[in-house]
């Protein structure tokens, strides 16, 4: 498994600021992870996530040289899946799909939510939930033109992975930080995507 690397945006900026609340921002990170499909075929798939925090602190870290484009970080990117919504105010946030615009993946009759995040704990492991609506996924995939679908996935993979609702992810973290602060003071290969984690479109075999 490769090291986690800090990624700059198209303008060369490492710190992205939330448009809804400039007090908070995030750093993009990515990592190439080894993947074996059900037939034993090996490949590397890119995982991406964000490191949210207060804008002022993130900029301090950049100026200190800790967060620089291309810098390697000691941790790993972990994926966690769950059946409970990630946000009470938006139950569509973080839904796990078969492709960017594909069907929602279900476990029995419950929707699966997916989130990727960076951690320095190297013993942290993924928590993945096997979807059970296999017939629905196969039917949806059959409706695609295979050649067009394959070409589209390859050419737009990075773009699709990067178009996530990062601002809501930052708000989750911000709410958690504020709460803690207050207490202290007082069988086919599909491309899995979710808008909860930065560029989480990592291909797995299910």
Pairwise CA distance, residues 66 & 50, whole Å: 15
Q: Give the per-residue pLDDT at 187.
A: 45
Pairwise CA distance, residues 151 & 165, whole Å: 25
Residue 147 pLDDT class (50, 70, 90 cuts): very low
* Residue scoring higher pLDDT (22 or 183): 22
103 neighbors 34 (Cβ within 8 angstroms): no
Question: What percentage of the chain exceeds 70 in pLDDT?
Answer: 69
- Best-predicted range by mean pLDDT among 22-26, 95-99, 137-141, 170-174? 22-26
Least confident of 13-27, 59-73, 125-139, 167-181: 167-181
Mean of the per-residue pLDDT values for the chain? 79
Residue 61 pLDDT class (50, 70, 90 cuts): very high
pTM: 0.70
pLDDT, tens digit, for every residue of 150-197? 555 555 554 554 445 566 666 666 555 555 444 443 344 566 677 665
Whether residue 105 has pLDDT greater than 60: yes
Tokens of 200: 């989480």
């Amino acid at each position: 498994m490769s090291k986690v690397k800090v990624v700059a945006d198209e303008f060369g900026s490492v710190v992205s600021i939330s448009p809804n609340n400039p007090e908070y921002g995030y750093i993009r990170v990515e990592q190439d992870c080894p993947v074996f499909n059900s037939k034993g075929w090996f490949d590397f798939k890119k995982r991406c996530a964000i490191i949210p925090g207060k804008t002022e602190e993130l900029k301090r870290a950049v100026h200190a040289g800790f967060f620089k484009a291309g810098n390697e970080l000691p941790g790993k990117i972990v994926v966690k899946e769950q059946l409970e919504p990630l946000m009470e105010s938006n139950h569509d946030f973080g839904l796990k799909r078969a492709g960017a615009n594909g069907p929602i993946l279900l476990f029995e009759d419950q929707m699966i939510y997916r989130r990727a995040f960076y951690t320095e704990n190297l013993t942290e492991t993924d928590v993945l939930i096997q979807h059970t609506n296999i017939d629905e996924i196969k039917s949806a995939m059959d409706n695609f033109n295979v050649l067009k679908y394959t070409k589209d996935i390859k050419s737009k993979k990075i773009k699709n992975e990067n178009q996530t609702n990062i601002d809501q992810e930052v708000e989750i973290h911000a709410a958690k930080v504020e709460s803690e602060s207050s207490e202290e003071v007082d069988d086919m290969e599909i491309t899995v995507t979710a808008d909860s984690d930065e560029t989480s479109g990592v291909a797995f075999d299910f």
